[in-house]
Structures are given as structure tokens and as C-alpha cells.
Amino acid sequence: MSDHEIKCRFFSQEDLLGAGCLDIRMSIEAGDVMFPEKIVQIFNEDTQERINCLPATFKQEKIVA
């Protein structure tokens, strides 16, 4: 892998639930995680159609999710 290569994977809701994303104990054991403010992109002011982006970084593993 080159120094500038970016790998990206998309996960469905089923993938995340199957991986235990709602398991609070697993979340606590994940270690040093950075959770910046969420990003909201509103597509329609009248209907409030939007996407909420909630990034997280696992510092030790150098993974951004």
C-alpha cells in the first residue's frame, strides 16, 4: 500500500448490529477512541431531509469509522 492510498468500506445497518455496535461493554473496551462533533448535511430545509455523519477514530489501530 502506498503512503497515499485510501481504503474505504461501507457497512449496512445489519453489518453494524451484527458486529455488536450497540454493545456498551464492547464500546468501553475499544480503548482510546476520538469522537468529534457530528456533521449534519440538510438536503431540504422544508422536510429536514438530512444525513448525520458521526465519525470516530480508533487511535491505536489508525482506523477511522
The reported pLDDT for the residue numbered 34 is: 84
Q: What is the pLDDT of residues 2-50, one digit of tens each?
A: 678 877 788 889 998 898 888 888 877 877 888 888 889 999 999 999 9
Whether 55 maps to a domain, the answer reads yes
33 exposure class (CB count in 10 Å sphere: 0-12, 13-18, 19+) = middle
The reported pLDDT for the residue numbered 41 is: 93
Whether 4 maps to a domain, the answer reads no
Whether 7 maps to a domain, the answer reads no
Whether 23 maps to a domain, the answer reads yes
Split into its structural domains, the chain has a count of 1
The reported pLDDT for the residue numbered 5 is: 83
Whether 8 maps to a domain, the answer reads no
Q: What is the pLDDT of residues 52-63, one digit of tens each?
A: 888 888 888 888
Whether 31 maps to a domain, the answer reads yes
The reported pLDDT for the residue numbered 2 is: 66
- The one-character DSSP state at 53 is E
| Residue 54 structural domain | 13-64
Whether 56 maps to a domain, the answer reads yes
